[in-house]
Amino acid sequence: MTREPLGVILNAGLGTRLRPITPSTPKALVPVMDRPLIDYGVEFLEGLGIREIVVIVSPGDDATLERARISSSPGVTMHQAVQAEARGIGDAVISAGSLIEDRTVVVLAADTLLIGDDAQYVRDFEQAGAMAGLVLAPVPDPRSFGVAVLDGDRVTDLQEKPAVPRSDLALVGVWLLSPGAIERIRANPVINAKGESDLTATIGELVNEGADVRGWCTPGRWLDAGTVEGLLATHAVLLRGLASSGEFDGGCHVTGSVWMGDGAQARGSQLYGPVLIGAAAAVEESEVASSVVGSNAVVQGARLEGCVVLPGARVVGGTYRDVVITAAGEVGGPGALLN
């Protein structure tokens, strides 16, 4: 008898696209607004009706599972599996061992956020009896993504980063796998040029062999927080829905929505919303526009626009635009310190 579906959140790997935030911070714990990425992933899987989730982590990561348990709902069982080396997504899935046996497995990249997505992928996938399934979204330039071609909801072609894409439908980082697909990934995966077990390429081989692979376009919005640029863009989108909360001292000029976490302080500053100031953070004598100041961070005498100041960071002076500032004082992103 098959078991209930399992969710798998991918958090292992080097996270090179998110430097300088990683590798000191596991990808799933990278903050988005006032919560880590893992919270959004757990919520998404729970919304699909999944009540058992395994988090794939790198060796030495003892924090991600603890946070996943905090963010999960009562009755949801959380597990951890360790991918010993960064050998591809297929290998990461297989590292879950017996947890993935004889059941539908929904694999989610930790840096994927699907906002306003209420589709029932697990139900549709199991009703179809397909070998594998993919969640897709149209993108302006699909050349840097896995790209699928659909006939109805059947995937007829799957390309990885094609120079000449045959559609604009990109893989968003959600894969649905049947027991048969799991066995194929374990026994005969496609090994790419990096020597990694390539999950998407293996599914592409199944498509070429005539297997039933389905694809569905997300009805919501896909946010890719897997790069520093993508993280900044994700915050820009989420900030638009921010509601005001908190109080400011008389020396602040405030326009737009400003959200203040518990114990946050803003003094003598100009705040041009949307702005989020996290718990116990302080903004003093500064100008902050369309930015996030993480919990326990301090901004003094600085100007920020379109920035993400990570928890615990200290920014004193300077003008920043479109950057991430880490607790170690590192700056990354398309913008720069302007003066």
Least confident piece of the model among 8-17, 66-75, 82-91, 234-243: 8-17
Return the H-helix or E-strand segment holding 40: helix 37-47
Q: With the C-alpha atoms ordered 246, 300, 319, 229, is the resulting torsion angle positive or negative?
A: negative
**pTM for this structure?**
0.94
Compare 328 and 247 and report the one with higher pLDDT: 328
Instruction: List all residues 6 or more positions away from 107 whose beta carbon is below 8 Å from its beta carbon.
Output: 8, 10, 89, 93, 174, 175, 176, 177, 199
pLDDT at 134 over 60: yes
Provide the pLDDT confidence category of residue 210 given band limits of 50, 70 and 90.
very high
**Is the pLDDT score of 314 beyond 90?**
yes
Contact between 78 and 65 under an 8 Å Cβ cutoff? The reply is yes
Q: State the CATH class of domain 6-226.
A: alpha beta
Confidence band for 19, pLDDT divided at 50, 70 and 90: confident
pLDDT of 25 > 90? The answer is no
**Average pLDDT, rounded, for the chain:** 93
CA distance linking residue 233 with residue 327, whole number of Å: 20
Q: What are residue 47's phi and psi, to 5 degrees?
A: -65, -20
And the tokens for 89? 């997504």
Q: Which residues pair with 258 in a beta bridge?
A: 275
Domain chopping of the chain, boundaries = 6-226, 243-337
Is there a contact between 9 and 55 (Cβ–Cβ < 8 Å)?
yes
What is the percentage of the chain residues whose pLDDT exceeds 90?
A: 83
pLDDT tens digits for 136-164? 999 999 999 999 999 999 999 999 899 99
| pLDDT of res. 137 | 97
pLDDT of 329 > 70? The answer is: yes
Half-sphere exposure of 254 (CA within 13 A, CB side): 21
Listed in order, strand segments (DSSP E) in 70-165 are: 77-82, 105-109, 112-115, 132-138, 146-151, 154-160
Predicted confidence band of residue 336 (pLDDT cuts 50, 70, 90): low
CATH of domain 243-337: 2.160.10.10
Whether 338 shows a pLDDT value over 70: the answer reads no
- Inform me whether the pLDDT recorded for 15 exceeds 70: no
pLDDT at 1: 43
